[in-house]
Amino acid sequence: MTSKLFASNLRQQLAKSTHLFRRQLLSTAAAAVPEPQHHEDSTGITMKGVKISGRPLYLDVQATSPVDPRVLDAMLPYYLSRFGNPHSRTHLYGWESDSAVEDARAQVASLIGASPKEIVFTSGATESNNISIKGVMHFYKDKKRHVITTQTEHKCVLDSCRHLQQEGFDVTYLPVGTDGIIDLEKLRAAIRPDTGLVSVMAVNNEIGVVQPVEEIGKICKEFNVPFHTDAAQALGKIPIDVEKWNVSLMSLSGHKIYGPKGVGALYLRRRPRIRVEPQMNGGGQERGIRSGTVPTPLVVGMGAACELAKKEMEYDEKRISALQERLLNGIREKLDGVVVNGSMERRYAGNLNLSFAYVEGESLLMGLKEVAVSSGSACTSASLEPSYVLRALGVDEDMAHTSIRFGIGRFTTEAEIDRAIDLTVRQVEKLREMSPLYEMVKEGINIKEIQWAQH
Amino acid sequence: MLRLVSKRILGAVSRDLPPPAVLPRFYHERVVDHYNNPRNVGSFDKNDPTVGTGLVGAPACGDVMKLQIKVDEKTGKIVDARFKTFGCGSAIASSSVATEWVKGKQMEEVLSIKNTEIAKHLSLPPVKLHCSMLAEDAIKAAVKDYEAKRAKSTASQEETSGEKAATA
């Protein structure tokens, strides 16, 4: 009760301070309208050669989310007074830590309809994906030599598959349609007698499309092939039921659901039992699947985050959908040539991946320094290649260069959305004014028919 | 003693640290400046005989640059320049710099502008060097276009004068 009170207090405080900050941001930015230059006299932040008037508003929750104050509240005692090693069997410190870890395990399990015994704590979804893919294939390597996955998976799944290929395994990368969804018939056709695993992510990290997991699960059951899903972006956002989905393995992450970074979980089905070869050897913690001391505070945080997500999923979903609609309508009202990447119907509302025709994404991001968004995934911003996910969707290369991912989360406000609309529209208009392509299109020239000299 | 040593070390370290504004692997402040306040954005009428237009790059590569020069026909001097660029901040900055540099110069002179000079001026990192190359190409293409136009117009003038002579 006291902790709840404290949490609500903390939340109010936080809301107040962010409110204050936001007002400050708005006022400085409003003052900057006639003169968009920020110079030394402002008390702004200068970082990486870019100067901004305050902390940017955060619309990148697919990358990571802030820790919910209520989660932090649950974690703190396990850093300070209850710091015991959960594997210590000889004293109170160990016992209380162990009991906290088991409670967290139950909280995670309850969110996905699993038994606590089926949850293994890991360092994050990347590790869970590695254990799932390499662990399963290595364990069954005598009979199973084939993996099926999709072209739009997260890098860690693709990289694990590439690693398997180097070891002599076969991998099929299923293509996706223009909406980002896989074709179930193609999946069915790709399954072979020696297929050891089907791995398809539930919610895509870049474009937010939701794969037909339940149907995939059915097909896998029919052929008796284990099904792994990377649910890092789905946990706490769409209802998950491991029985309904018929998954054998599932990767989960803590920091995407307002929990701490550095913790994740792996769901491992018990009936029928799926076995994996451990990737980490050691003291045999987590039933030998993931050795190494379980980080009690982080695990407690992930458990608390799951419990909150279970309680607030419906509420969050309603708010986030409304905000997404507001954002999309707000931008579309003022700009033409705005394309949503990926299916609009089968989509998690918190992810809005947009392409702005005739404007290049990187320069748009450079102009949107007061909004923390990304051009798809963190990896693609470093290279000049357009996102492989958008290319798999068959998005034209010039449009793939122009994508921006807006991520809306539990703490996003209407004012933030309005400000994001305002800044985006202004920046796109400025860049279009500067774009030779936009000029040509207005003159009635078809850009696609021009023979461009490729560099 | 220890404090003194550590102070000295720390002092030395902090003096050695680069100021935060010029973190090497991001945009140089000149790039940011040209991006925020691009010089000479716009277009000339591309059918104007005194205008040369260079259009280089491809949308699929993420960069298209259009650079135009206005030339004084008598002196061959570039009196004005305009650009429009679809591309990253470095591409916009490179073309903005290019228009500034060609203005007021003779045509032969601007052909010697090297991409390395632009890259150096903007401190472009290796992954962005193609932006400066594109700017160099755009300048060359604009000059070539102007010369082609001029050759054509003088040829047609000669033709017409030749015809006149024939009829007379």
Pair B37, B124: CB distance under 8 Å: no
Say whether residue B26 is in contact with chain A using an 8 A CB cutoff: yes
Say whether residue B37 is in contact with chain A using an 8 A CB cutoff: yes
In whole angstroms, give the CA distance from residue A162 to residue B29. Answer: 40
Q: What is the pLDDT of residues A340-360, one digit of tens each?
A: 999 999 999 999 999 999 988
Q: Return the domain boundaries, chain A.
A: 13-34+42-67+313-445, 71-308
Give the count of beta carbons closer than 10 Å to the beta carbon of residue A23. 11
Read off the CATH number of the domain in which B62 is found. Answer: 3.90.1010.10
Spot the catalytic one: A156, A220, A306, A379: A379
pLDDT value, residue A182: 96
Check A397 against B59: CB less than 8 A apart.
yes
Say whether residue B89 is in contact with chain A using an 8 A CB cutoff: yes
Q: Residue B54 is part of which domain span?
A: 23-150
| A13-34+42-67+313-445: CATH superfamily | Aspartate Aminotransferase, domain 1 (3.90.1150.10)
pLDDT higher than 50, residue B14: no
pLDDT value, residue B155: 78
Strands (DSSP E) contained in A212-278 are: 227-230, 249-253, 264-268
How close B139 gets to chain A, by Cα (Å)?
15
Query: Which CATH number applies to A71-308: 3.40.640.10, 3.30.2310.20, 2.60.40.3080, 3.30.470.20?
Result: 3.40.640.10
pLDDT along chain A (455 residues), means of 10: 53 52 46 45 62 84 96 97 95 96 97 97 97 97 96 95 96 96 97 97 96 97 97 96 96 97 97 94 92 96 98 96 97 94 95 92 86 67 70 85 92 96 95 91 81 64
Which candidate from A362, A384, A435 shows the least CB-CB separation from B89?
A: A362
Nearest C-alpha in B relative to A36 = B36
Check B86 against A455: CB less than 8 A apart.
no
Within-domain flag for B12: no
Buried b / exposed e over A376-387, threshold 16 CB at 10 Å, is bbeebeeeeebb
The answer to whether the complex's ipTM is over 0.85 is no
Within-domain flag for B156: no
The closest of A300, A324, A304 to A312, measured between CA atoms, is: A304
Query: Which residues touch A105 (CB under 8 Å, ≥6 apart)?
Result: A116, A119, A121, A299, A303
pLDDT value, residue A27: 46
pLDDT value, residue A41: 43
Which candidate from A47, A366, A455 shows the least CB-CB separation from B58?
A: A455
Cis-peptide into A278, omega within 30 deg? no
Say whether residue B59 is in contact with chain A using an 8 A CB cutoff: yes
Within-domain flag for B157: no
Pair A190, A166: CB distance under 8 Å: no
Contacts of B25 in chain A (CB under 8 A): 48
Check B62 against A360: CB less than 8 A apart.
yes
Pair A18, A80: CB distance under 8 Å: no
Check B35 against A366: CB less than 8 A apart.
yes
User: Considering its fold, how many domains does chain B have in total?
Assistant: 1
Pair A262, A123: CB distance under 8 Å: yes
